A and B are shown apart, each in its own frame.
Chain A
Amino acid sequence: MIEKNIIFIHPLSPLLQKFLKEMEEDDDFMVFEIDALNEYGQIIGVLEQSVTFSSDLKKSRTYLEDFSQFVKNKNSRNYLIQESTMAPHLFSKMQTLGLNELIKEATETKTLKHKINMFFSMFETGENQIAIGETPTLGAKKKKDNEVQRAQPLAFDKPDTLFNFDKKNSKKKAKTYDFDNFSNYKMKKNKTDMSFLNSNFSDYQKKAVTEFIPQLKNLDLKKTNFEPITGVLKNNPFKKSLEIKPPGELKRKEVGKFEEVKSLDGKPKKDPFAPMMGDMNRKDVGKFEEQTREIKPHKKLNLPELELKRRELAKKEVEERKLKPKKKTTDLPELIPKLKKHAKFEPVEVKKNVDRKETEEAQELKRKKQLALDELELKRKKAKAFEESMKDKNPRKNFEETQQDKNKVKGQEFEEQDFDKDRKNFEEVDPNKNKKGGTFDEFHEDQSVKDKELDLSEDSKPKKKNFQEVDPDKKGPKKFDENLGELDKLKKGFQENIIDLEKNKGKFEEIEIEKRKKKSTFGEKPLENLKSKSVDFEEIKTKRKALEKQIEPEKEEYDLLLKYSKDKKLGPESVLDYKQLHREYKEGKLKLNAELEEKVKRKNCDQLALEKDFTLLDFDSYGVEYFITYNDLIWKSAKKPQVLLKFVHFALLKEFSAEVCFYTLQDGKYQLAYNGITEKTWPNLFDEFEKFEAINKVRWEKTELPTWSDETFQANINEFIYPYYEEGESIGFAVAHFPKTITNHMDAKKAELLLNMSKGVFLEDSIL
C-alpha cells in the first residue's frame, strides 16, 4: 500500500474546492493544502509519490520552476486547472517545466479522481518498470501514455488536434525503451546477417540516396541564443561584441555623429554673421581653405539627412494639424475686407481666418490653380525681362538687375533669421506655416532642385537695405561694412557657420513662408494670393526625394574628393577646382594615400558584409507524389483493393526498401490481406513466414498505436506496426520492416503517412 498524496495549492478554483472536499472525505488519500510555496518545498521533498493541483498559473509556474527536481519526475503529477485553454506556446513552456496536464474548470471531479487513481495504481501494482522479457501490461500503458504524445496527430477522431496547423509538435521526447528486450520477434542467428540486402531488387527502381538532406530553418530557435563574447575584436567596427549591426547601421551612426556636432554647434543660432556667408564668393573661400579642409566632409554633405529630419518635423506638424478640429468656415466675400484690414498688422491671424473659411479640398484646388498661375506669371516675367533686355541691347545688365531683384527677395530669408523666436511662436499658432507663397513659387519654379540647395550660399547675399528695413526691431541695424569687418571672426567659426548655413538652408522652407507673410505685411502681395498660396508638403517631399537621389550617390564621391585634395598639397590660399578633381578622380589619376586606401578597403569590406546570400530552403516532396498517384489510381482501381495495397507497398519499397503486410479484421479475426514479403525480396523470411507470423501475430494485434520496434532507428531491422481504426474500432493493421532505411523522425513520419494511405481500403466490406 502506498501513500496517496494530493497537494492543493491555494487559491483554489470552485472545481478544486469541490474536489478538495471530496478528497478530504476519502480516507485513501492524504491531502495537503498549501498557501505559501516554501511550504510546498518542504512537503514535496519528503513525499514519495504525489499529485499537485493548482488553479493559479503564476503559482504553478513558480513551483514548477523552483522545485523542478522534485516535480519533474515520474513520481509526481502536476495538474493546472483553468477556465479556458492556454496558448500553445505557453502550454509547451509549462510542459517543459513539468506540467502534466491542463484541465478545464468544467471538468467533473470524478475525472480528476480517475486521473489520480490511474497514477497511483502504477505504483500500487509495482509495475511501473517494464520487466525484461515480460509482456508489458500496465507498464506498457505508461509507455503508451508517452507514445500518445507522439502519435496524437494521427488520431483522426481528436477534433482539437485536427487542422491545428500552428500547433507545434510537442517538444517532449517520447521515452525510448529497449524493445529488443521484450519483443517476441527474434531473428534466427544465421538470418540476421542482412542477407536480404543481397537479394535481387531489380524489379524496383531503388531510390537514389542523396547526400543532401536539407532542413528548414528552425524557427523556434531563439535569436538571442547567440551570445557575443565580450572580448575586443580588433579592427572591427563593432568592436565590443558580435552584435552585428543590421544594414544601414553605419549610416545611422553617421547621422548620430552629425547630430552630436549639431547639438554642440547648432544651438538656436543668433549669429549675426550667418547671413554674411552669402557674401563670400569663391575667391574668398580660398582664404579659409585650411579651415575648409578641416571640416569633416560628411558634415558638409549631410544635407539629405538634414532634409530628412526637417521633413520628419514637417510631417509631424502636418499630422498635428490634421488632428486639430476643423474650424468653422465662413464666406470668403465677408472675410476679404477683414483681411484687408488686418493684413498689414496681423498676417498670422489673417491666414488663420482664411483657413477657417475654406475646406481642405477647396484649398487644395486653389493651391493648384495658384501654382499654375504662378508658373504662368513667372514665364510671363521672364519673357518680358528677356524682351526688355533685347530692347536695351544690354542683356548682361538686365540680367544682373534681375538677379539683384531676385537676391533682394532671397536676402530677406536671412534677415528673417533674426525672427526665429517669433517665427517659432508663429508656427505654434499657425497651422498653415508651410503654405507656399508666391515669391517662393517663383523661386522654386525658376531654379532646378539642385541649384536651390547647392547655390544657396551664393544666392543668399544679404543686402544692406534689407537689413536696415528688418533689423531695427530686434538688434538694431547692422551695417554691411561692419559686417565685413567682422569677417575675421568668421574665419574661426567657419565650420560652425557652414553648419549654420546648412541649417539656414534647412530652414529654407520656413523662411520662405515667413517671407511670404512679411510680403503680405508690406502689402507687396495681393491678398487673393494669401488665401490660396500654400506649400504642398507632398510636392516638397517629392522634390526633396529627387534631390536626395541626386545628392546621395555623389556624396561619397565628393567625400573622397575632399580627402584626395589633401594629396594635392595645395597652398592655404589656392582654390580647389572640384571639376578638375572630379575629372581626375573619374579617370583614376588621383591616388589614395595609404591611410585613405585602408579606410576605403575597410569600408568596402563592411559593405560586403551586409550583402545577403540566398536563403537555404528545403526542396523535398515528402512523399506526397505517391498520394497524387494514388488519387489517380483510385478512379481506375476502385474495385481492386489489392492493387491499391500493392501500390502502398511499392511506395514503401521504393522510398525505404521496406516490406509490408496488411491484416484486415474480418469475422472477428485478423486475416492477412496482402503479403509484401515475397520470395524475391526477402527469401529467408518468405520461407518461414508462417512461423514468423505465428510468433508475432498476437503482439501485432495487441498493438494499439503506431509503434516502432526501435525508436532510435539504430536496429538493423526496424519493425513498424501501424493499426487502422474507424470510429475508435480496429479495422486492421500493417506491419512493415525497414532495413535500417529510417534514420530520423522525418523518415518515420513519411513512412507513417505512406502507410496511412491505405486506410480507405480497410473501410471496404471485404478486401480479401
Chain B
Amino acid sequence: MKIVFYNYPLEILKIGTIYTFPIFLLDPVTEERVVFNYPDVEYTEEHQTELQAYVEKGAQLQIHEQFRDEFMSKLSVTESGLKNWNLKRYKMVELFLKRQEEFEALKNPEFKLQDTIQKINHSGNYEALRVRVRADLLGFPLDKDPVINFTLALVEHVFIRDLYPVKNAIMAYYIARELGLKDELVICEIILAALVKDLSFSMCPPSIFEQWEILKNNEHYLKHPFLSLYYLSKLDLPFSKELKRIIMEHHEDTLGDGFPRGKKENYIALGSFILNISEQIILSSTGIMPGGLDLIAVIRNLGKQNKMGDMNVNIPQHILESLNGLIPAN
C-alpha cells in the first residue's frame, strides 16, 4: 500500500514557471483524473484562473509519486507540508505499515495448531490461538472493504483478552479456515459476526445470564439476533446481507427448533452454522452450557451448506477430535 498521488494546494504554483512535471487534476466525486498541464509547459495566469475555478468546484490538484522529488525540490515543499496536505492517506499507510509490522512480528512460523488446541483443552487459555488469529487478521488489506476495516479495528481493540465473544470469534475463524474459506471479506464477516452477534445482550436483564435454563427461555434472549442487527444498523456501515444473515440465523438449527425464526438446515447460512458451533464449543468448554454436543456430526453438516465459496468438507479427523476435546463429556 503506497500513495500514488499527492494532493497539494493551488497557491504553491507560481505563474510564469515552466514545470517539468505534469499537473494532474482530480474530481474527487467521480474519482476521475486528467492532466491539466503537461511537463515543460509554462504555467500562466490563464492556467491559474482556470485551475482556481476547478478547485472552487472541488477539484484537487495532484502530483504523481513519480514526480514527487522533482515537485518537492522545484516548489520547495517539505515532507511535513506534503504530509499535511495528505494527512488521511499518510495515516492510512502508517496504520497499514504498523499492522504489517505487527503481523510480521506475531507470525510465528513454528505455530502448531494441534498443539495449541491441545493446550487450550488443558488450560482453557486461548492466548496462543488469539495471538495467531490476530496476526493473521492484521495482515488483511485496509483499502479493500469498509467491513474489513471495521473488523480489523475491532480486532485490534478486543483481541487483547480472552473475552467470551473473542473466544467465539477465534473458534469461528478456526473452523472457517479449516473448512477452506479463504476470502478475506468472508473471513472478516464471520469474525465480525462472531463479535457482534450478541450486542443486544445489553438489552436483556443481566440476571438471566446466571442460569442457562432461564436464559434459553427468556423472551429478550430469544429476540437477541434481531436486536443485535438493530444495534448494527445504527453504525451506518455498509454491512452485507450475508453478514446480517449470519447474525440473524446464528441460533437456528438443522431441525427447525432454533430461534428466532425456526429455520431449517437448507435455509441457514454457512456462517451462521459456524458461529453456532463455535458458540456451543465455547459455552460448553466454559461450563456455561451443559455439554453433550456431537461436534463432529454438526461440523459434517456444515458441508451441506456450501454458500460461501469453495470449502473443504473433509476436515481431518484429528482436528475434529481436537475440537471435540474442548467439550466436556455429558
Q: State yes or no: do A and B come from one complex.
A: yes
Question: Which residues of A does B touch, CB under 8 Å?
Answer: 153, 156, 162-165, 169, 211-212, 214, 216, 221-223, 225-227, 229, 231, 233-238, 242, 244-246, 601-602, 605-606, 608-622, 624-625, 627-632, 634-635, 637-641, 644, 749, 753, 756-761, 763-764
Q: Which of B34, B38, B57, B152 has the most CB of A within 10 A?
A: B34
**Interchain nearest-CB distance for A374 vs B (Å):** 39
| B209–A638 touching, CB < 8 Å | yes
Per-residue CB contact flags for chain B residues 216-254 toward chain A (1 = under 8 Å, else 0) read 000010000011011111111101000010000000000
**Interchain nearest-CB distance for B309 vs A (Å):** 23
CA distance A616 to B7 in the complex (A): 13
**Interchain nearest-CB distance for A622 vs B (Å):** 5
**Chain B contacts for A758, CB-based, 8 A:** 202
Q: Among the listed B40, B146, B163, B199, which residue makes an inter-chain contact with A618, where contact means beta carbons less than 8 Å apart?
A: B146
**Chain B contacts for A625, CB-based, 8 A:** 154, 157-158
Q: Among the listed A216, A235, A628, which residue makes an inter-chain contact with B166, where contact means beta carbons less than 8 Å apart?
A: A628
Q: Which of B29, B204, B220 has the most CB of A within 10 A?
A: B29
**Chain A contacts for B209, CB-based, 8 A:** 634-635, 638
| A764–B207 touching, CB < 8 Å | yes
User: Is B112 an interface residue, CB under 8 A from the partner?
Assistant: no
Q: Among the listed B29, B33, B47, B237, which residue makes an inter-chain contact with A609, where contact means beta carbons less than 8 Å apart?
A: B33
The A contact surface, by secondary structure, is loop
**Chain B contacts for A234, CB-based, 8 A:** 37, 41, 46-47
CA distance A510 to B154 in the complex (A): 62
**Chain B contacts for A616, CB-based, 8 A:** 88-89, 92, 143
Q: Which of A229, A231, A621 has the most CB of B within 10 A?
A: A621
**Chain A contacts for B206, CB-based, 8 A:** 634, 637-641, 644, 760-761, 764
| A763–B205 touching, CB < 8 Å | yes
Chain B contacts with A in 152-193, Cβ cutoff 8 A: 152-154, 156-158, 161, 163-166
CA distance A703 to B315 in the complex (A): 57
CA distance A756 to B200 in the complex (A): 10
| A619–B149 touching, CB < 8 Å | yes
| Further contacts, 11 of them, CB under 8 A, given A612-B4, A641-B206, A759-B202 | A212-B87, A222-B29, A226-B57, A242-B25, A245-B34, A608-B22, A608-B35, A628-B166, A637-B206, A639-B210, A749-B234
CA distance A338 to B57 in the complex (A): 76
Bin the interface of chain B by size. 35 or more
| A621–B39 touching, CB < 8 Å | no
Chain B contacts with A in 265-290, Cβ cutoff 8 A: 288
**Interchain nearest-CB distance for B173 vs A (Å):** 15
**Chain A contacts for B205, CB-based, 8 A:** 760-761, 763-764
Q: Among the listed A606, A628, A634, A764, which residue makes an inter-chain contact with B35, where contact means beta carbons less than 8 Å apart?
A: A606
**Chain A contacts for B142, CB-based, 8 A:** 614, 617, 619
**Chain A contacts for B166, CB-based, 8 A:** 628, 632
Can you show 8 pairs from A to B with CB atoms below 8 A apart? A613-B5, A617-B92, A620-B153, A631-B164, A634-B204, A638-B210, A756-B202, A757-B202
**Chain B contacts for A759, CB-based, 8 A:** 202-203
Q: Among the listed B24, B46, B149, B233, which residue makes an inter-chain contact with A617, where contact means beta carbons less than 8 Å apart?
A: B149
**Interchain nearest-CB distance for A350 vs B (Å):** 48
**Chain B contacts for A638, CB-based, 8 A:** 206-210
| A153–B50 touching, CB < 8 Å | no
Given contacts A617-B142, A763-B204, whether A165 and B244 have CB atoms under 8 Å apart is yes
**Chain B contacts for A244, CB-based, 8 A:** 27, 30, 32-34
**Interchain nearest-CB distance for B159 vs A (Å):** 10
**Chain B contacts for A631, CB-based, 8 A:** 163-165, 198-199, 201-202
| B24–A609 touching, CB < 8 Å | yes
User: Is B59 an interface residue, CB under 8 A from the partner?
Assistant: yes
**Interchain nearest-CB distance for B243 vs A (Å):** 10
CA distance A246 to B89 in the complex (A): 23
Given contacts A165-B239, A601-B38, whether A214 and B88 have CB atoms under 8 Å apart is yes
| B153–A610 touching, CB < 8 Å | no
CA distance A227 to B29 in the complex (A): 11
Given contacts A164-B233, A212-B88, whether A608 and B196 have CB atoms under 8 Å apart is no
**Chain A contacts for B88, CB-based, 8 A:** 212, 214, 616
**Interchain nearest-CB distance for B84 vs A (Å):** 10
Given contacts A226-B59, A616-B89, A624-B235, whether A236 and B36 have CB atoms under 8 Å apart is yes
Question: Which residues of B does A touch, CB under 8 Å?
Answer: 1-5, 22, 24-25, 27, 29-41, 46-47, 50, 53-54, 57-59, 64, 66, 87-89, 91-92, 95, 142-143, 145-146, 149-150, 152-154, 156-158, 161, 163-166, 195-196, 198-199, 201-210, 220, 226-227, 229-237, 239, 244, 288
* Smallest Cβ-Cβ distance to B141: which chain A residue: A614
* Smallest Cβ-Cβ distance to B3: which chain A residue: A613
| A614–B154 touching, CB < 8 Å | no
| A627–B199 touching, CB < 8 Å | yes
| B149–A611 touching, CB < 8 Å | no
Q: Among the listed B58, B64, B203, which residue makes an inter-chain contact with A608, where contact means beta carbons less than 8 Å apart?
A: B64
**Interchain nearest-CB distance for B96 vs A (Å):** 9
| A610–B89 touching, CB < 8 Å | no
CA distance A638 to B164 in the complex (A): 14
| B34–A242 touching, CB < 8 Å | yes
Q: Which of A214, A611, A614, A628 has the most CB of B within 10 A?
A: A628
**Chain A contacts for B288, CB-based, 8 A:** 635
CA distance A162 to B196 in the complex (A): 17
**Interchain nearest-CB distance for A213 vs B (Å):** 9
**Chain A contacts for B198, CB-based, 8 A:** 631
CA distance A223 to B227 in the complex (A): 35
| B34–A632 touching, CB < 8 Å | no
**Interchain nearest-CB distance for A618 vs B (Å):** 6
**Chain B contacts for A615, CB-based, 8 A:** 143
**Interchain nearest-CB distance for A355 vs B (Å):** 40
CA distance A461 to B202 in the complex (A): 86
**Chain B contacts for A760, CB-based, 8 A:** 201-206, 220
Given contacts A226-B58, A757-B202, A760-B201, whether A628 and B158 have CB atoms under 8 Å apart is yes
Q: Among the listed A163, A214, A237, which residue makes an inter-chain contact with B92, where contact means beta carbons less than 8 Å apart?
A: A214
**Chain A contacts for B1, CB-based, 8 A:** 614
CA distance A610 to B234 in the complex (A): 37
**Interchain nearest-CB distance for B10 vs A (Å):** 15
**Chain B contacts for A764, CB-based, 8 A:** 205-207
**Interchain nearest-CB distance for A234 vs B (Å):** 8
| A246–B32 touching, CB < 8 Å | yes
**Interchain nearest-CB distance for B170 vs A (Å):** 13
| B66–A608 touching, CB < 8 Å | yes
* Smallest Cβ-Cβ distance to A749: which chain B residue: B234
| B37–A235 touching, CB < 8 Å | yes
Given contacts A611-B64, A631-B199, whether A233 and B150 have CB atoms under 8 Å apart is no
Given contacts A617-B142, A628-B195, A764-B205, whether A162 and B226 have CB atoms under 8 Å apart is yes
**Interchain nearest-CB distance for B258 vs A (Å):** 18
Q: Among the listed B30, B202, B226, B236, which residue makes an inter-chain contact with A169, where contact means beta carbons less than 8 Å apart?
A: B236
Q: Among the listed A214, A613, A637, which residue makes an inter-chain contact with B4, where contact means beta carbons less than 8 Å apart?
A: A613
CA distance A632 to B194 in the complex (A): 13
| A212–B234 touching, CB < 8 Å | no
| A225–B29 touching, CB < 8 Å | yes
**Chain B contacts for A222, CB-based, 8 A:** 29
| B50–A231 touching, CB < 8 Å | yes
**Chain B contacts for A763, CB-based, 8 A:** 203-205, 220
CA distance A620 to B25 in the complex (A): 29
**Interchain nearest-CB distance for B194 vs A (Å):** 10
**Chain B contacts for A153, CB-based, 8 A:** 233-234
Given contacts A617-B143, A764-B207, whether A627 and B196 have CB atoms under 8 Å apart is yes
**Chain A contacts for B87, CB-based, 8 A:** 211-212
**Chain A contacts for B64, CB-based, 8 A:** 608, 611
CA distance A749 to B142 in the complex (A): 25
| A628–B154 touching, CB < 8 Å | yes
**Interchain nearest-CB distance for B151 vs A (Å):** 9
**Chain A contacts for B33, CB-based, 8 A:** 244, 609-610
